[in-house]
Chains A and B, each alone.
Chain A
């Protein structure tokens, strides 16, 4: 694709370039034939007495200048420079990028693909794969999930046992590959008092301090308002649709009463971006194994002392 918006500009650039190069050559030629009188100064005077002669330059200097003129012409034939003309070598910076990516793929591809053939639990047990996964995590995932993978409000803690969409290795891989979109519909129309009752009921699920009177009212609303449809009658959630388990101590946005009220009133819409196209399956495979390993290995914890990242 040409960078030029119209044919005119391409011709304009090419013409200017060629004329400039030719002009340099012609100027050299003319100056080679020019004559100067001996002892004649250039005519300027600085600081009252400082003047300048025009002594001859050595010939080799002139020949080197000619060489640059011819080199330019040769270069412009071989490489793009004259407007939209692509040059004999058809070099482009995107082509260079593709070539380097292919070289990288040839070098590193076999390492990644070796792990891709193994199942995720085997990969999680491999120390080298763990380190690779850790480096990938720190580069691509830590911006949201934190370098220790413990997340923050709205971004899940990957080191705990609670999984919104399922914690099996394959499920984790699906999450990373295709992304997830968690939607809690807003229940604002229920009214402030009703929502406050619900909030207290939800808090009582996990043993947090709650107003018992409100919690009792909220229990009825929980069934009638439709919460059970997603969160289940026992409030244990549904991994198929990403509805969180409300009975545990792990909170996506925080356990304060006003936070839960906000969640119910306004709803929530959170996204895990899909990494399939960006990272490719091989890297996601390593990442899935790494993330699963964070909560599924004896003594496993957040990224601790990493392997030397370089000399």
Chain B
């Protein structure tokens, strides 16, 4: 950015008497994160492995001769292992979103921004990219030095290598993404002769560019300025939510001191002011100021501070997960965990359990057959030669299973009713296909009343009695 930075820091929360004038826009300060290891870092990396194994691996799994997880937009079918979703099943998507929302409310109310710190793709990819950066350019101090260096051959090679690896990872990510919509094995086959379709090419590069841009360049800017989660977190937290907190009572006043010194005697708190908690923070905040909207709950500061506490011989937990109420009342672990099962949590859990159970039940009980009855619009009811009343319908039979079936169609509801002058008719339908049948239904006029009568179409699979639908329709007698 060519605009000169006009202020050293964003407007501080303090200083009503400060009269420093600053611009409404500022150049972003690059954050060089210090790497950290510890219990929380181990969990974060475990989740990176897990989410990426699922993302990069799932599209390679086969099922029934096709890709197990495939969102076939052209054919309008979503395959998730044995479940096939047609456009008519979009309600399950709605239910999935509702479940996701309630799950989000639930674990955010319990433990704060767990999603942000551990599972969010932005965090995960940024972590991967920063790991690459650390491997190529070195640790934090080495990177700061490299950035400050004037341009040289060495700098060019390092930067180029880093961006090169980033580019390859991003490209593979984009490729995998498209592989969920077009079978990935087909895509791979199209690469060599470069016969990828124009839209496939576009999306591979678009998604790849988005990965490269967001994880390589934007990083915390997404969390700070683009993502809404930060802004509504305060609505989802309450005084019993576990958040990353700095125990100011224990830590203040801060200051450096020798290892062996009795700091309490000299009036110092446990905080040695090493600023490691600031150096490891991916969003560049100082957690000692309290919970801020930028904090993504990654707990790197906890790990960092714990390491220092270990070195100094002090107890761990100067920065730890705690709740607002616990800090106020001086609670220990037992009381905090005891307060997790509070009404809010119980209600969220209850609603979530009910919706998940209902969704699972509905999916398990789905019939792989759908029937639409569309009656002729203009020809309401005809008297045919034999004196019987005739109504015409179009039956749309959707075989949503992956096996072909023969179906038996019967019509019931009024005495003497028949279909195409027969008691029943048989029709084969191929797998995953919609078949239209035009049928004429006949009725002796005395069997019903003038005007609208209720009849039913029954479609049953001949080889599986459980596959059956019962649709109502109207029969009009003129």
A:63-91 near B, CB below 8 Å: 63
The answer to whether B434 touches A308, judged by C-beta atoms less than 8 angstroms apart, is yes
In the assembled complex, A57 has its CB within 8 A of some CB on chain B:
yes
What are 14 pairs between A and B in contact, CB < 8 Å? A32-B25, A37-B19, A38-B12, A58-B25, A58-B27, A58-B225, A59-B26, A60-B1, A61-B225, A62-B25, A63-B1, A143-B378, A147-B376, A311-B433
- State how many residues of chain B have any CB contact under 8 Å with chain A: 52
Per-residue contact bits, chain A 248-273, to B (CB 8 Å; 1 contact, 0 not): 01000000000000000000000000
Whether B21 pairs with A38 at a CB distance below 8 angstroms is yes
A213 at the binding interface (Cβ < 8 Å): no
Stretch at the interface among A217-225, A237-245, A282-290, A297-305: A297-305
Q: Give A2-38 interface residues, CB cut-off 8 Å to B.
A: 31-38
Report Cα–Cα, A5/B114, bound state, in Å.
59
Q: Is B367 an interface residue (CB 8 A)?
A: no
Flag if A56 contacts B7 (CB, 8 Å). Answer: yes
Report A-chain residues with C-beta under 8 Å of the C-beta of B279: none
- In-complex Cβ contact of B376 among A56, A58, A146 (8 A): A146
Contact B21 A37 (CB under 8 A): yes
- Whether B11 lies near A55 (C-beta < 8 A) is yes
Given contacts A38-B20, A152-B379, A302-B440, contact A311 B75 (CB under 8 A): yes
Q: Name the distance in Å between B23's Cβ and chain A's nearest Cβ.
A: 6
Q: Does chain A have a CB within 8 A of B464? A: no
Which residues of the partner chain B approach A146 to less than 8 Å between Cβ atoms? 376, 378-379, 392
Q: Which of B428-451 contact A (CB under 8 A)?
A: 429-430, 432-438, 440
List the B side residues contacting A304 at CB < 8 Å: 420, 437-438
CB distance from A5 to the nearest CB of B (A): 39
Q: Is the CB of B15 within 8 A of A39?
A: yes
Selected from B1, B392, B427, B434, the residue in CB contact (under 8 A) with A147 is: B392
Residues in chain A within 8 A of chain B (CB atoms): 31-40, 53-63, 138, 142-144, 146-148, 150-152, 155, 249, 302-306, 308-311
Q: Is the interface of A mostly helix, strand, loop or mixed?
A: mixed
- Give complex CA distance A148, B96 in Å: 43
Say whether A59 contacts B25, CB under 8 Å.
yes
- Chain B's closest residue to A160 (CB) is B385
6 pairs of A and B residues whose beta carbons are closest in the complex: A56-B26, A146-B379, A303-B438, A35-B21, A38-B20, A59-B1
The answer to whether A306 and B436 have CB atoms under 8 Å apart is yes
A56 touches B12 (CB 8 A): no
A-side contacts of B7, CB under 8 Å: 38, 56
A33 cross-chain contacts in B, Cβ below 8 A: 23
B217 CB to closest chain A CB (Å) equals 9
Closest to A150 in B: B382
For residue A143, which residues in chain B have a CB less than 8 angstroms away from its CB?
377-378
A59 with B3: in contact, given A34-B24, A39-B12, A147-B394 (CB under 8 Å)?
Answer: yes
Interface check B258, CB cutoff 8 A? no
Within 8 A of A (CB), among B170-227: 221, 224-225
Complex CA–CA separation, A148 to B392 (angstroms): 7
With both beta carbons as reference points, the residue of chain B lying nearest to A57 in the complex is identified as B25
Pair A54/B11 contact, Cβ less than 8 Å:
yes
CB-defined contacts of A34 to chain B, threshold 8 Å: 23-24
Give the distance in Å from the alpha carbon of A32 to the alpha carbon of B382 in the complex.
76
Q: Is the CB of A31 within 8 A of B438?
A: no
Q: Which residues of A contact B152 (CB under 8 A)?
A: none
Bound Cα distance A311, B14 (Å) = 65
Contact B26 A36 (CB under 8 A): no
Residue on B nearest A28 in the bound complex, by CB: B25
A148: contacting residue among B3, B436, B438, CB under 8 A:
B438
Are B23 and A56 in touch, CB under 8 angstroms?
A: yes
Q: Is B16 an interface residue (CB 8 A)?
A: yes
State in angstroms the CA–CA spacing of A32 and B18 once bound together. 22
Residues of A within 8 A of B433 (CB): 308, 310-311
Known contacts A38-B20, A57-B225, A305-B435, then 8 further A-B pairs from the complex at CB < 8 Å, ordered by chain A residue = A38-B11, A56-B25, A59-B3, A146-B379, A150-B390, A306-B436, A306-B438, A309-B436
Contacts of A38 in B (CB 8 A): 7, 11-12, 15, 18-22
Q: Tell me if B28 is interfacial: C-beta within 8 Å of chain A.
A: yes
Q: Is B10 an interface residue (CB 8 A)?
A: yes
Q: How far is the CA of A309 from the CA of B397 in the complex (A)?
A: 10
Find out whether the CB atom of B28 lies under 8 angstroms from the CB atom of A60. yes
- Which residues of the partner chain B approach A308 to less than 8 Å between Cβ atoms? 429-430, 433-435
A105 to B10, CA, bound (A): 62
Which A residues lie within 8 Å of B429 (CB)?
308
A32 to B22, CA, bound (A): 11
